[in-house]
Structure 1
Amino acid sequence: MQLNWKAAIALAALILAINTGARQAMGFMLPPMASELAWGMGSLSFALAIQNLVFGLAAPIASKLSDRFGTLSVFLVGSLCYAVGMGVTALWPTPTVWMLGAGVLAGIGIGATTFPLVLAAVTRVVPLQHRGIGLGIASAGGSFGQLVYSVATPMLVLIDWKIAMLALGASCLLLIPMALPLLRRPPAGSETQAEDVPSQGPLLQDRRFLALAGGFFVCGVHVAFIATHLPNFVVACGLPLNVAGNTLAIIGALNIAGTILFGAWGGRRHPPQLLMLIYLCRAALVMAMVVIPPSSMLLYAFGAIMGVLWLSTVPLTSQAVALYFGQKRQAFVFGMVLAAHQVGAFLGAWGGGVVYQLTGSYDLLWIASGIFGLLAALVHWPVRREPKRMVQPQLA
C-alpha cells in the first residue's frame, strides 16, 4: 500500500524534527561539560565542528549508497550511529570518546538521516503543484524539533548533562519506526513522475551549483555558530542560561512559519531571488549583535527575526536543485550542496570556540558572519533565469 503524500510530508517533518532538534541541542552540553570536566571550550567545540564536517561528508555518500542498498537500509544504519554516538559520550566522558562519539559517529548518523534523503522522498511522492508547500512543511519539522529540544534540553541539563545526552540519543531511536513507511521502496510505477533535467556537465563547472553551494556554506557558518555558541555567548554576557534556551526556542517557533512561507513562495518565484533576500537580512541581523548592547530583549528580538530566516534556505535550495539537476540526481546533488553547508558549519562551530578562547569575545565571529551573509547574497545574483518546468503527468 502506497503512503499518502500528505502522510509522507508529516512523517518527513517528524523525522527532521528529531534529526535537527537533537543535533542543535548539543550546544547546551558545552557549559556544564567545560565546568565539570575542565576541558577547554576550544576542545569541546572542535568535536562538534568535526561532527558538522562528518555530517556534510556523510550526506552525499549516504545518497550514493542508497542507490545500491536502498534508502531505508542506509537510514536505519544512520539512526543507530546517531543514537550510539550520543550514548557512549554520556557513559564514558573522555576527550577521545567525545570526539569519536559526538563528533564522528553522531556526524555519520546525522548525515544519513537528514534533508537530502528525506526531502528527496517527499519530492518523489508529492504532486508538483503542492511540492513547494510540501517541502516547506517537511523542512519546518526541523524548526519544530529545535523548538521542542531547546525547551526540554536545558531542563534535563539542570539535572545532569549526562542524562540530557542519553535522552537525546534515545530520541534518535524513534527515527527507525518513522522511516519504515516513508523510505521503503515503493512498488514499480507507483511514484509520482516528475520533471527531469539532463546533466549539464560536472557540478564544479556549473555556476548554479556553485552559487547554491556557496550560499549553503554561509548558511552553515551562521547556523552552527549560533546553535553551538549562543548558550556560552549568553553566559559570557552575564545573562541566565535559560535566555539562550528561550532564544533558540523562539528561533524554532518562528522558523516553522518562515520555512513554510518561503517554501510556498519558492513554488511561485525563482528560488535564488528569495535566497538573496534571506542572506541580506541575516547579514544585517548578525551585525546588529555587535553594535547593540546585549540584553534578554535583544536576544529575543534576534531570535524572532532569525527564526523566520533560519531553515528557510532548505526548501528553496531543495527546489532549486530539483529544478536545475532533476529529480533523479536530487538527493546526491543536494547532498553535495549540504557538504558545503557543513564545511561552513565546521568553521562556525570550531571558529567560535577558538575566537572566544583567544579573545574572550564573539565579536569577530558576528562581524565575519555578516560579511559572509553579504557574499552569499551576491553569489546568487547571476542565477536569475529559471529553467523551463515540464508539466507533470497526472496520475490516473
Structure 2
Amino acid sequence: MQSTNGTVLRHLRDPKLVLVAGSVVALIAIGMRHSFGLFLDPVTREVPNIDRETFGFAIALQNLMWGLAQPFAGMLADRFGSARVIFTGGALYVLGLICASAVSSTLGLVLGLGVLVGIGLSATTYAVVLGAVGRKFPPERRTSALGIASLGGSLGIFLSVPVTLSLIDNLNWSLAFVSLGLIAVTICLLAPMLSGRAEGQGTEQSLTEALSEALGHKGFVLLVLGFFVCGFQLAFIGTHLPAYLLDRNLGAWLGGAALATIGATNIAGTFICGVVGDHVSKKKVLVGLYLARAAAVAVFVLRPPSDVSTLLFAAVMGFTWLGTVPLTTGIVAQVFGPRYLATLIGIVFFMHQIGSFLGAWLGGLVFEQTGNYDIMWWCVVLAGIMAAFLHLPIDEQPLTSKFSRFQGAVSNA
C-alpha cells in the first residue's frame, strides 16, 4: 500500500502535471480578480456609503495585502512545500468572496474583497505557483514553462469576464460573488499536486544570505522597480477602465468586452513572451513591452474614444499584460537559481502590488477630486517610459557563488 501511494504521489508530481495544475490554479485565482472591476458599478449603486473611491480602496488594499503576504507565502513554500500554502490561500480566497457577497458596509467590503482575497491571492498566484513550476524544469526550458503557467492566468482573464458578466446579469452581484467562491474551491483540490520544493546541492545557502545577495544586486533592485510600474499600470486599467468608458458615454457592454479582449490577446502575448525569453535577452523584451504600453495609452487618451479604438487599445494592452511575468521571473531564476525562487519572486511581486495599490486607489481618488481620470492616464504613460529605461542596465548573467545552488535538485515535501 505504501509503495502504491508513493507511485501515485510521484505521478501527481510529474513536471507536466505540476505545470497543468499550476496553470489551472493561476487561471482561477488571477482570472477571477481581473473581473472584480465589473462589480464596481452595481455595488456602488446598490450599497449605501460605498462610492468609487471606497471600492477602489478595497481593490487597492487587496493588491497591498497580496503583495505584503507574498514574500512570506514564498518563504513558507520554499521551506515546507507549496501544497499547504496553496490550500490555505484557496480557502481564504473562498471565504473572502463569500464575505464580499454579503457586504452592507465599507468594513465588510474591505475585509472580504480587500484583506481575505488579498492574502488568498498571495498564496495562489505568482510567487508560490511559479516557484513550484520553475523548480521542476531545467534552465533551458524554465522560461517557457513559466510562460505556460502564466498563460493559465491569461486564459483566466479571458474566461472570467464573460462568466462574471453572465452571473451578474442572470443572478445579481451578490450571488455572482458566491458563485465565484464555489469555483475557487477547485484551488484547494489541486493543491496536493503542487507540493514540490527545492533543495540545494553542496554547501547550503541560508535564506538570510540569499536575501542579502539579491537585495545587494543592482539588477534585482531595478527589476523590482520596473515591476512596481507594471502593477501600477495594470491595476488602474483593470479597475477603472469600465467606469471610464461609461463616463465617456460608451455602452455598458464595452467595459466587459475590453477586459475580455485584454484576456484574449494576453493568451498569445504571455505564451510568445515565455518562448521568446528562452532564446533572446529577457530584459530587451521587457523594454519593448513597457514602451508599447506607454504608446498605446497615449494614443488611446489623445483620440476621441469609440468602440473600435477601445477594443484596439485593449488588444495591444492585453498582448503586454502578463507577458512581463515569465520574463521577470525568468530573470530572477536565471540570475539567482531555483533554491529560494518562490521567496525572491515574492519580493518582486510585493513591489508589483505596492504599485497595484497605488494604481487602483489613486484612480478612484483622482476621479473623486477632479471628476475625470486624465491625470492618471498620463501617469501611466510616464511610468511605462521610466520602466523601459530601468531595465536597460540589468545584468542577466547567472551569479557565481560558493553555494552552487544553480544545480539545485528537486525533492518532494
Q: Would you call these one fold, judging by a TM-score over 0.5?
A: yes
Q: Summarize the alignment of residues 133-212 of structure 1 with structure 2, pairs less than 5 Å apart.
A: 133-158=144-169, 159-181=171-193, 183-185=194-196, 199=210, 201-212=212-223
Q: Could you tell me which residue of structure 2 aligns to residue 96 of structure 1?
A: 107
Report deviation, 1:202.
Answer: 4.5
Q: Could you tell me which residue of structure 1 aligns to residue 278 of structure 2?
A: 267
CA distance in structure 2 between the aligned counterparts of 1:199 and 1:185, rounded to whole angstroms? 20
Does the CA-based 8 Å contact 1:276-1:377 persist in structure 2?
yes
Letter in 2 for 1:162: S
Choose the corresponding residue for 1:243, options 229, 254, 258: 254
Seen in structure 2, the aligned counterparts of structure 1 residues 242 and 95 have a Cα distance that, compared at 3 Å, is same
Q: Could you tell me which residue of structure 1 aligns to residue 297 of structure 2?
A: 286
Seen in structure 2, the aligned counterparts of structure 1 residues 92 and 267 have a Cα distance that, compared at 3 Å, is same
SS at match of 1:258: helix
Seen in structure 2, the aligned counterparts of structure 1 residues 67 and 5 have a Cα distance that, compared at 3 Å, is closer
Q: Could you tell me which residue of structure 1 aligns to residue 18 of structure 2?
A: 8
- TM-score where L is the length of structure 2: 0.89
Q: Which region of structure 1 is more displaced relative to structure 2, 378-387 or 163-172?
A: 378-387
CA distance in structure 1 between the aligned counterparts of 2:257 and 2:396, rounded to whole angstroms? 40
Does the CA-based 8 Å contact 1:21-1:143 persist in structure 2?
yes
Does the CA-based 8 Å contact 1:127-1:192 persist in structure 2?
no
Does the CA-based 8 Å contact 2:336-2:399 persist in structure 1?
no
Does the CA-based 8 Å contact 1:219-1:341 persist in structure 2?
yes
Question: Which ranges of structure 1 fall in alignment gaps of 5 or more residues?
Answer: none
Report deviation, 1:129.
Answer: 3.0
Choose the corresponding residue for 2:371, options 360, 384, 389: 360
SS at match of 2:135: helix
Choose the corresponding residue for 1:78, options 77, 89, 100: 89
Choose the corresponding residue for 1:323, options 323, 334, 337: 334
Q: Does 1:59 align with 2:70?
A: yes
Does the CA-based 8 Å contact 1:126-1:192 persist in structure 2?
no
SS at match of 2:61: helix
CA distance in structure 2 between the aligned counterparts of 1:219 and 1:67, rounded to whole angstroms? 25
Letter in 2 for 1:9: L
Deviation string 1:248-285 (CA, Å, 9 cap, x unpaired) is 11111111111111111111122111111111111111
SS at match of 1:62: helix
Deviation string 1:341-380 (CA, Å, 9 cap, x unpaired) is 0000000000111111111211111100000000101111
Number of residue equivalences: 390
CA distance in structure 2 between the aligned counterparts of 1:338 and 1:394, rounded to whole angstroms? 25
CA distance in structure 2 between the aligned counterparts of 1:254 and 1:172, rounded to whole angstroms? 24
Letter in 2 for 1:155: S
Deviation string 1:118-150 (CA, Å, 9 cap, x unpaired) is 111111212333222211111011110000111
Q: Summarize the alignment of residues 382-393 of structure 1 with structure 2, pairs less than 5 Å apart.
A: 382-387=393-398
CA distance in structure 2 between the aligned counterparts of 1:110 and 1:305, rounded to whole angstroms? 26
Does the CA-based 8 Å contact 1:200-1:206 persist in structure 2?
no
Q: Could you tell me which residue of structure 1 aligns to residue 127 of structure 2?
A: 116
CA distance in structure 2 between the aligned counterparts of 1:394 and 1:185, rounded to whole angstroms? 11
CA distance in structure 1 between the aligned counterparts of 2:211 and 2:103, rounded to whole angstroms? 49
Seen in structure 2, the aligned counterparts of structure 1 residues 126 and 68 have a Cα distance that, compared at 3 Å, is closer
Q: Which region of structure 1 is more displaced relative to structure 2, 127-136 or 362-371?
A: 127-136
CA distance in structure 2 between the aligned counterparts of 1:52 and 1:74, rounded to whole angstroms? 18
Report deviation, 1:6.
Answer: 2.1
Quote the sequence identity (%).
Answer: 38
Seen in structure 2, the aligned counterparts of structure 1 residues 125 and 204 have a Cα distance that, compared at 3 Å, is closer
Deviation string 1:29-84 (CA, Å, 9 cap, x unpaired) is 11011111142210111011000000001110111223444321121111111110
Choose the corresponding residue for 1:29, options 35, 39, 43: 39
Question: Which ranges of structure 2 fall in alignment gaps of 5 or more residues?
Answer: 1-6
